[in-house]
């Protein structure tokens, strides 16, 4: 997960897949800074 | 005793002209890129009414094919036609656009809908011939106006045009000069939702075998909002639609919760009936013009027809326990709470596993799950995948994690306990409820013993919260006889009591 260390992350989650806040939590623990997180509904 | 599902209806209104003029993908494109190639391509990708009727997922929606039959059809579906497909089905119908526009005009109480005289005259007889359209509804039709008047209203009064076969045939006027909540755009959107809800209500009552006067309460669970600048979502679509449908004994209200609203509304209806507040409640929803052609860009890019060309509607009639029909079990409700979180495992856990745990059941004890039943023919080419299948995989994975399912059985679980999606991507329409009608019949026929209906909602789209939402309930066979037996009074005892009463009565007569 070192690939995310010190990086800035833009997150687009899927309401029927993995939502934004869940991805954000994972990304933060991997050392990235979340600068935008959103969940989209495609249906 | 639990409330029962007395009947259900599912209707579609084919509205290809509204795809181009009212679907937000297209209206947005018109603003940001008015000369776009996509907009030029759209008309070439619209389907004929005959093609829409012959489309397997649409025939499944109105009940002419069971989801199990659809699952046997080779994917994709858009290039196949169902033989013997019909406009009318067990649950409802696919109404053609010209007749639907007449229904919309009949639903307009404020004279904002204007249709051309010749258009009304040409289609009035066909409209009146629809088996659920009553004389009262036909009597609401105006004879229409000249096309010059319609053109002037569009040019000078910001009226929203109405087209049929790409020809101007009418318009929807604004209901206020300044108030954006009563603009022609909003009035158009709301009247389309109301009209499709009316159609669903008419079939709902018919399919349940009840009288219109039996319905005491209506809950509308669509996604539109009606009101003016002082109460933008004041409502009440439910009562407005009940008025046109002739449900003279009903009052009602609107329930909102994005795509989860139908499942919320069904739980509320079941609770209202079980509590004794109302004996018979209709849960209804009309369709959403904004979502027409929502994934159109991907469909056009992949040389497919635009498959989001119909407005959807449904109605479920909930009534007092009749000892026959399947029940909504209020002891097994799943709910995604504020504290649940958004991780998929938590979401499925709260909606599926938690209510079953409370009842001492396993995930594999539920015969069929009905989460988001979107038609994959629409979503897969658009990159959103097979939504029902994605949900089944998550449910199956949770069952494996809980030790209720062997990992090797995961794929079989998605087939045995799942369904192939058939519902149009109309937001609230595909969310759990499309299976309620089939579940009722399958349980009555003994094909399945129970089903779980799961509704999910994207609350974050309203920008009031980042939270997701969802609720679920279980439908199972009627337990009235078991409950009576458990209550301690057996049928034999009742017979004995009646015999004694009759004997006493006879003795009284003889004494006289």
CB distance from A21 to chain B under 8 Å?
yes
**What average pLDDT does range B457-480 have in this prediction?**
94
Of A21, A38, A41, the CB nearest to B342: A21
How many C-beta atoms surround the C-beta of residue B491 within 10 A?
10
Beta strand B450-457 with B469-476 is antiparallel
Q: Compute the radius of gyration of chain A from its Cα atoms.
A: 11
**Exposure of B81 by Cβ count < 10 A (0-12 exposed, 13-18 middle, 19+ buried)?**
middle
User: Which residue from B295, B382, B468 is facing A15, i.e. has the nearest CB?
Assistant: B468
B461 in contact with A, Cβ within 8 Å: yes
Angstrom distance (rounded) from CA B424 to CA B426: 6
Question: In this model, does residue B494 exceed pLDDT 80?
Answer: no
CATH topology of domain B327-487: Peroxisomal Thiolase; Chain A, domain 1 (3.40.47)
Chain A CA closest to residue B387: A16
Q: Which residues contact B7 (CB under 8 A, 6 or more apart)?
A: B204, B207, B208, B209, B210, B316, B317, B437, B440
Q: What pLDDT does B501 receive?
A: 86
Does residue B489 have a pLDDT over 80?
no
Minimal C-alpha gap between B331 and chain A (Å) = 27
Tens digit of each residue's pLDDT (9 = 90 or more) over B283-330: 999 999 999 999 999 999 999 999 999 999 999 999 999 999 999 999
- φ, ψ for residue B373 (rounded to 5)? -100, 35
Instruction: Tell me, yes or no, if B425 comes closer than 8 A to chain A by beta carbon.
Output: yes
Which of A18, A42, A43 faces B344 most closely, judged by CB atoms? A18
Strands B469-476 vs B327-335: parallel, antiparallel or unpaired = antiparallel
| Mean pLDDT calculated for residue range B110-136 | 98
Question: How far is Cα A37 from Cα B334, in angstroms, rounded to an integer?
Answer: 27
Residue B375 φ then ψ, to 5° = -70, 115
- Picking from B225, B190, B199, B5, the residue whose alpha carbon sits closest to that of residue B99 is B199
pLDDT (mean) for B336-361: 94
Q: Rounded distance, CA B113 to CA B115, Å?
A: 7
Least Cα separation, residue A30 to chain B (angstroms): 17
Please, which residues have CB within 8 angstroms of residue B221's CB and are 6 or more apart in sequence? B254, B255, B256, B257, B261, B262, B264, B265, B283, B284, B285, B428
Structure tokens at B288: 């959403």
Q: Do B453 and B442 meet the contact criterion of CB atoms below 8 Å apart?
A: no
d(CA B47, CA B50): 8
pLDDT tier, B496 (very low <50, low <70, confident <90, very high otherwise): confident
Binned at pLDDT 50, 70 and 90, residue B184 comes out as very high
Residue B266: name the closest of B439, B12, B455 by CA.
B455
Per-residue model confidence (pLDDT) at position B344: 86
Residue B312, H or E segment? strand B310-319
> Cβ neighbours of residue A3 under 8 Å, at least 6 residues apart?
A30
Q: Residue B199 has which token pair? A: 């159609």
Distance CA A15, CA B466 (A): 11
d(CA B234, CA B249): 22
What pLDDT band is residue B485 in, cutting at 50, 70 and 90?
confident
A1-43 per-position pLDDT tens digit? 589 999 999 999 888 788 888 899 999 999 999 999 988 887 7
- pLDDT at B267 > cutoff 90: yes
Which of B344, B372, B383 comes nearest A22 by C-beta? B344
The model's pLDDT over B362-393, given as tens digits with 9 standing for 90+, comes to 999 999 999 999 999 999 999 889 999 999 99
Angle at B372 between CA B447 and CA B432, to 5 degrees: 55
Q: In terms of pLDDT, which residue wins out, B492 or B57?
A: B57
B460 touches chain A (CB under 8 A): yes
B219-252 as b/e: b if 16+ CB within 10 A: bbbbbbbbbeeeeeeebbbbbbbbbbbbbeebeb
B135 φ/ψ angles, rounded to the nearest 5 degrees: -60, -35
* Percent of chain B predicted with pLDDT > 70: 99
Q: What are the chain B neighbours of A16 within 8 Å (beta carbons)?
A: 372, 384-385, 387, 390-391, 456
- Dihedral pair phi/psi, residue B358, rounded to 5°: -60, -30
Question: For helices B97-106 and B117-128, what crossing angle results, to 10°?
Answer: 100
Query: Do B460 and B469 touch, CB atoms closer than 8 A?
Result: no
Residues comprising chain B, all counted: 512
B115 within 8 A of B101, measured Cβ to Cβ:
yes
Whether the predicted pLDDT of B498 surpasses 90: no
Dist CA B35 CA B329 (whole Å):
54
- Tens digit of pLDDT for each residue in B41-99? 999 999 999 999 999 999 999 999 999 999 999 999 999 999 999 999 999 999 999 99
B466 interfaces chain A, CB cutoff of 8 Å: yes
Q: Which of B47-56, B67-76, B187-196, B485-494 has the lowest mean pLDDT?
A: B485-494
Question: Which chain B residue has its CA at the smallest distance from A43's CA?
Answer: B425
Q: Which residues contact B511 (CB under 8 A, 6 or more apart)?
A: none
How is residue B449 written in tokens? 């013993």
Q: Which residue among A18, A38, A42 places its CB closest to the CB of B384?
A: A42
Rounded to the nearest integer, the mean pLDDT of chain B is 96
pTM assigned to the model: 0.93
Query: Does residue A17 sit at the B interface (CB-CB below 8 Å)?
Result: yes
CA distance B22 to B334: 36
B387/A22 Cβ within 8 A: no
Within a 13 Å sphere around the CA of B364, how many CA atoms are in the beta-carbon half? Answer: 13
CA distance B387 to chain A (A): 7
User: In sequence order, what DSSP letters do the residues of B259-295 get, joined into one string?
Assistant: GGHHHHHHHHHHHHHHHTS-SEEEEEE---GGGTTTT
Assess whether pLDDT exceeds 90 at residue B491. no
Interhelix angle B184-208/B97-106, nearest 10 degrees: 100
Q: What token pair was written down for B389?
A: 């299948």
Reference B365, options B402, B323, B391, B335; nearest CA is: B402
Query: What residue ranges do the domains of chain B occupy?
Result: 327-487
The yes-or-no verdict on residue B507 having pLDDT over 90 is: no
Residue among B298, B302, B266, B295 nearest B282 (CA): B266
At B219-254, the pLDDT tens digits run 999 999 999 999 999 999 999 999 999 999 999 999
């Amino acid at each position: 997960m070192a690939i995310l260390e010190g990086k800035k992350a833009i997150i687009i989650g899927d309401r029927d897949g993995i939502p934004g806040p869940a991805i954000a939590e994972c990304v933060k623990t991997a050392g990235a800074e979340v600068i935008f997180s959103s969940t989209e509904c495609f249906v | 005793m639990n409330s029962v599902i007395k009947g259900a209806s599912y209707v579609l209104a084919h509205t290809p002209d509204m795809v181009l003029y009212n679907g937000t993908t297209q209206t947005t494109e018109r603003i940001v890129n008015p000369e776009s190639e996509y907009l030029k391509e759209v008309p070439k990708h619209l389907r004929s009414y005959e093609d829409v009727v012959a489309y397997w997922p649409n025939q499944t929606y109105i009940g002419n094919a069971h989801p199990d039959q659809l699952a046997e059809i080779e994917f994709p579906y858009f290039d196949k036609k169902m033989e013997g497909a019909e406009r009318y089905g067990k649950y409802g119908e696919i109404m053609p656009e010209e007749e639907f526009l007449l229904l919309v005009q009949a639903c307009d109480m404020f004279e904002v809908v204007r249709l051309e005289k010749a258009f009304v005259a040409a289609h009035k007889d066909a409209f009146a011939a629809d088996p659920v359209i009553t004389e009262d509804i036909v009597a609401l039709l105006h004879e229409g106006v000249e096309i010059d008047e319609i053109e002037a209203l569009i040019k000078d009064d910001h009226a929203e045009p109405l087209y049929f076969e790409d020809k101007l045939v009418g318009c929807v006027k604004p209901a206020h000069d300044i108030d954006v909540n009563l603009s022609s755009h909003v009035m158009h959107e709301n009247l389309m939702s109301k009209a499709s809800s009316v159609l669903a209500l008419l079939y709902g009552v018919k399919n349940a075998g009840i009288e219109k006067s039996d319905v005491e309460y209506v809950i509308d669970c669509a996604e539109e909002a009606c009101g003016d600048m002082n109460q933008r979502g004041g409502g009440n679509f439910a009562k407005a639609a009940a008025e046109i449908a002739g449900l003279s004994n009903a009052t009602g209200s609107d329930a909102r919760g994005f795509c989860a609203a139908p499942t919320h509304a069904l739980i509320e209806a079941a609770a209202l009936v079980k509590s004794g507040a109302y004996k018979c409640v209709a849960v209804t929803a009309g369709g959403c013009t904004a979502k027409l052609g929502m994934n159109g860009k991907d469909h056009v890019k992949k040389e497919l027809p635009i498959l989001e060309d119909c407005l959807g509607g449904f109605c479920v009639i909930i009534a007092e326990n009749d000892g026959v029909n399947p029940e909504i079990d209020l002891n097994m409700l799943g709910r995604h709470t504020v504290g649940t979180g958004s991780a998929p495992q938590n979401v499925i856990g709260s909606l599926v596993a938690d209510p079953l745990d409370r009842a001492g059941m396993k995930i594999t004890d539920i015969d069929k799950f009905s989460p988001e039943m979107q038609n994959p023919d629409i979503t897969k080419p658009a990159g959103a995948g097979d939504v029902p299948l994605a949900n089944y995989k998550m449910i199956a994975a949770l069952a494996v994690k809980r030790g209720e399912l062997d990992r090797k059985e995961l794929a079989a679980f998605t087939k045995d306990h799942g369904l192939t999606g058939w519902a149009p991507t109309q937001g609230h329409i595909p969310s759990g409820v499309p299976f309620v009608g089939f579940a009722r019949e399958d349980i009555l026929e003994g094909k399945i013993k129970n089903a779980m209906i799961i509704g999910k909602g994207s609350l974050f789209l309203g920008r009031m919260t980042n939270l997701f939402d969802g609720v679920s309930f279980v439908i199972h066979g009627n337990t009235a006889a078991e409950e009576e037996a458990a209550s301690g009074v057996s049928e034999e005892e009742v017979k004995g009591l009646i015999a004694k009463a009759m004997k006493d009565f006879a003795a009284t007569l003889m004494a006289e």
